[in-house]
A and B are shown apart, each in its own frame.
Chain A
Amino acid sequence: MMGAPSRAHGRFACVAGYARSVADHSDRHRSPDLDVDALLADPGIRIVVCCGSGGVGKTTTAAALGLRAAERHGRRTVVLTIDPARRLAQSLGLTSLDNTPRQVKGVEADGGELHAMMLDMKRTFDEVVLAHTDANKAEEIFANPFYQAMSSTFSGTQEYMAMEKLGQLRARGEWDLIVVDTPPSRSALDFLDAPARLSRFLDGRMIRMLLVPARVGGRSMFKLASASFGVFTRAVTKVLGTQLLTDVSTFVAALDSMFGGFRERAERTYRILQDPETAFLVVAAPEPDAIREAAYFADRLDSERMPLTGLVLNRMTTVAAPAIGSDSARAAAVRLDEVGGHGVTADAMRVHAALVDQHTRQVAVAERFVSAYPQVPVVEVPAQAVDVHDLDGLRAIGRSLAGA
């Protein structure tokens, strides 16, 4: 290894990253091939973030990357998953929910190890609170109904806590490589925005204004506030009810010692994501929504100066008999039905025609991304006939990711 690949800032700094120069086996996309093995083997890469819209196979991809890093590249790897399919979770030994990484059994690693964990957002939030305050105060916070609601249902808490957990894993320094799956957000970008949103809220002007009466022993500061602020408090009180405001206010007062802490932590995570030791892989299925989301993501990473390493085009349909086109396959099926006695081949022709058509559609959809971001390296992973829920299945995905 000659050291980490050099990367310049600016539009798609990833270009020099992990592109493979191999003979172009098809003329369909002009983008370079993503060299997953070079990425996983690079000691300069400490974090791989798998992002993309829901339902594209992010978790499976993250697990397969982690397994390959441990088995092929001897790296001590941890995979942080958010919401794995039940059987995949079982195959990774993710049956106990203690919010810490557990070593995965059955990994055939030479020097490497694979550990896996599933995020428990409420517990992670509790850990953050405990880290910043004493036990008594923590108890008070945990008992507050607003905290209880917020730590389990606040939109963005999962995203924030995923990033918090990433920060914790990295701070411990015991991993060569952390592979992160991102939450199944409405938008793939939520996890970039949620930490800032939550910290902005907790450190915010509004909440400080609300907090004032609690701080000065109940003497209301609202009287001193401007007329429009009077309207605001009246409206908020009317709509939300005084009980909720009291809960929020005591919650925030209890969290007072942590003020600044949230913003600082969010900013630290943000810097980790910008660091060249972090690689982002956008995972997309070859469907219009997923590809559109992948394109938004590529733009956003670029404007945040975060290193986009490549696109994983997941679940591509493969055609094993390319010599026969879909039209001739369909015509053949009709002909064979007429002749009779060829039911099996006629059906095989229809199956083949559907595959070819699907493949053609997928290529056209993927082309939208590829033509807009020709510099971004791409790797295609073929669709699996059956769902992946064991280490062998993950190894097979890993081989596809590595182009092997």
Chain B
Amino acid sequence: MVTGKGGTGKTTVAAALAIALAAGGRRVLLTEVEGRQGIAQLFELPPLPYEERVVASAPGGGEVRALAIDAEAALLEYLDMFYRLGVAGRALQKMGAVDFATTIAPGMRDVLLTGKLKEAVTRTANGHRAYDAVVVDAPPTGRIGRFLNVTAETARLAKVGPIKSQSEGVSAILRSPMTAVHVVTLLEEMPVQETVDATEELRALGIPIGTVVVNAARAPMLTGARLSPAEIRRGLTEAGLPTDRETVAGLVAEAKAYKARLGVEVGLRDDLAALGRPVVELPSLADGVTREGLDTLAGRLLADD
């Protein structure tokens, strides 16, 4: 599971993680559950259907397939599997019954989504697991606890019936060592605060937390340096660049703002370290998220694990 505050790049990190896990000929399923079609956008593909499609290959014959899980499609698939509804299932869909069912049972949507994940994780083909790993671009930190605990919620609400047993099965997997929730953050106040909050929440729920991924991290510069206009002017002269007052003052202001930011980042790194989980820092991708960029991030994730 890859979560993180919105805007921290969790889809990018999920994709990089999938590519990393596919190295050495492994099969990985990369999924999304929020109907955003973020994976398709990342790989510059048309919107993904409810169907597992190859989106990337990795060295050694590895393969990443992607699936956009849709709650309604998952419900119909589920009903069909267990009740052989066939035509009646489609009639239900027409009547809006699927919408109704996912509405009256709060969390039903999440049960269906996590249920489909369980199916993908446990699926076998020719006596082997169909996938070596399933990577989920999960809901953001603000909703991750509810999303992953919803099975417990529903089990409480639906006291009998298949929803209850289904929920219990999903819940068991989510709380087992098979699962790790990785939290993506930036070195900014809100994402770090949400990372801390989500970590506490997941810990209380007994759901295993994996790595804290600091995205778009920069190697610190100008540490301990004494900034002065005279020093900058001296350097600019040496480099043959303009030394007018505005340029010099502008560069000093930029460097000062940068140092102020670094100071904030030091405090935030401490907050993350205090969580007691491994922390991986990923560089920001200068050319935006390209396939090469994803491979760079994947390489970094492999090096750190």
Instruction: Decide if A387 touches B221 in the complex (CB within 8 Å).
Output: no
A28 within 8 A of partner (CB)? no
Q: Which of B157, B218, B239 contacts A335 (CB 8 A)?
A: B239
Contacts of A248 in B (CB 8 A): 104
Which of B51-59, B201-209, B244-252 is the contact stretch? B244-252
Instruction: Decide if B101 touches A241 in the complex (CB within 8 Å).
Output: no
Shortest Cβ gap from B197 to chain A (Å): 9
Instruction: Decide if A348 touches B254 in the complex (CB within 8 Å).
Output: yes
B34 within 8 A of partner (CB)? yes
Q: Which of B92, B107, B258, B260 contacts A149 (CB 8 A)?
A: B107
Shortest Cβ gap from B201 to chain A (Å): 14
Q: How far is the CA of A288 from the CA of B242 in the complex (A)?
A: 34
Q: How far is the CA of A61 from the CA of B252 in the complex (A)?
A: 28
Contacts of A329 in B (CB 8 A): 241
Q: How far is the CA of A336 from the CA of B34 in the complex (A)?
A: 49
Instruction: Decide if A387 touches B189 in the complex (CB within 8 Å).
Output: yes
A332 within 8 A of partner (CB)? yes
Contacts of A347 in B (CB 8 A): 221-222, 225, 255
Q: Which of B205-245 contact A (CB under 8 A)?
A: 218, 221-222, 225-227, 231-232, 234-236, 238-242, 244
Q: How far is the CA of A357 from the CA of B92 in the complex (A)?
A: 53
Instruction: Decide if A345 touches B235 in the complex (CB within 8 Å).
Output: yes
- With contacts A55-B8, A154-B106 known, is A244 near B258, CB below 8 A? no
How many chain B residues touch A (CB < 8 A): the figure is 79
Instruction: Decide if A351 touches B222 in the complex (CB within 8 Å).
Output: yes
Residue of B with least CB distance to A249? B104
Contacts of B238 in A (CB 8 A): 335-336, 339, 342, 345
Q: Which of A149, A288, A345 contacts B239 (CB 8 A)?
A: A345
Instruction: Decide if A232 touches B95 in the complex (CB within 8 Å).
Output: yes
B128 within 8 A of partner (CB)? no
Instruction: Decide if B6 touches A55 in the complex (CB within 8 Å).
Output: yes
Instruction: Decide if B157 touches A145 in the complex (CB within 8 Å).
Output: yes
Contacts of A241 in B (CB 8 A): 158-161, 163-164
A23 within 8 A of partner (CB)? no
Q: How far is the CA of A348 from the CA of B238 in the complex (A)?
A: 14
Which of A39-47, A302-310, A315-323, A373-381 is the contact stretch? A315-323
Q: How far is the CA of A242 from the CA of B258 in the complex (A)?
A: 61
Q: Which of A55, A244, A288, A351 contacts B105 (CB 8 A)?
A: A244
- With contacts A55-B8, A241-B161 known, is A85 near B255, CB below 8 A? no
Q: How far is the CA of A244 from the CA of B105 in the complex (A)?
A: 8
Shortest Cβ gap from A236 to chain B (Å): 6
Instruction: Decide if A321 touches B7 in the complex (CB within 8 Å).
Output: no
Residue of B with least CB distance to A361? B288
Instruction: Decide if A348 touches B101 in the complex (CB within 8 Å).
Output: no
Contacts of A357 in B (CB 8 A): 286
Main secondary structure of the interface of A (DSSP, over half): helix
Q: Which of A55, A197, A323 contacts B7 (CB 8 A)?
A: A55
Shortest Cβ gap from B75 to chain A (Å): 8
Q: Which of A357-379 contact B (CB under 8 A)?
A: 357, 361
A86 within 8 A of partner (CB)? yes
Shortest Cβ gap from A85 to chain B (Å): 5
Shortest Cβ gap from B165 to chain A (Å): 10
Contacts of B253 in A (CB 8 A): 320
Q: Which of B1-44 contact A (CB under 8 A)?
A: 5-8, 34-36, 38
Instruction: Decide if A320 touches B254 in the complex (CB within 8 Å).
Output: yes
A228 within 8 A of partner (CB)? yes
Instruction: Decide if A153 touches B241 in the complex (CB within 8 Å).
Output: no
Q: Which of B74-90 contact A (CB under 8 A)?
A: 79, 83, 85, 88
B172 within 8 A of partner (CB)? no
Contacts of B5 in A (CB 8 A): 54-55
Contacts of A344 in B (CB 8 A): 222, 225-227, 231-232, 235
Q: How far is the CA of A352 from the CA of B92 in the complex (A)?
A: 60
Contacts of A322 in B (CB 8 A): 250
Instruction: Decide if A342 touches B247 in the complex (CB within 8 Å).
Output: no
Q: Which of A87, A155, A238, A385 contacts B260 (CB 8 A)?
A: A385
Contacts of B8 in A (CB 8 A): 55
Shortest Cβ gap from B72 to chain A (Å): 14
Instruction: Decide if A206 touches B97 in the complex (CB within 8 Å).
Output: yes
Residue-wise, chain B 106-131 has the 8 Å CB interface mask toward A (1 for contact) of: 11110000000000000000000000
Instruction: Decide if B163 touches A239 in the complex (CB within 8 Å).
Output: yes
Instruction: Decide if B234 touches A345 in the complex (CB within 8 Å).
Output: yes
Contacts of A87 in B (CB 8 A): 189
Contacts of B241 in A (CB 8 A): 324, 328-329, 332
B91 within 8 A of partner (CB)? yes
Q: Which of A223-269 contact B (CB under 8 A)?
A: 228, 231-232, 235-236, 238-244, 247-248
- With contacts A240-B161, A348-B235 known, is A231 near B92, CB below 8 A? yes
A126 within 8 A of partner (CB)? no
Q: Which of B243-292 contact A (CB under 8 A)?
A: 244, 246-255, 257-258, 260-261, 264, 286, 288
A287 within 8 A of partner (CB)? yes
Contacts of B236 in A (CB 8 A): 332, 345
Instruction: Decide if A204 touches B100 in the complex (CB within 8 Å).
Output: yes
12 more CB-based (< 8 A) A-B contacts, given A336-B239, A339-B238: A55-B8, A153-B107, A154-B106, A186-B35, A232-B95, A238-B162, A240-B105, A241-B163, A320-B249, A323-B244, A323-B246, A385-B257
Binding site for B on A (CB under 8 A): 53-56, 83, 85-87, 145-146, 149-150, 153-155, 184, 186-187, 197, 201, 204-207, 228, 231-232, 235-236, 238-244, 247-248, 285, 287-290, 319-324, 328-329, 331-332, 335-336, 339, 342-352, 354-355, 357, 361, 385-387, 389
7 A–B contact pairs at CB < 8 A?
Answer: A55-B7, A231-B88, A244-B158, A287-B7, A323-B247, A329-B241, A387-B189
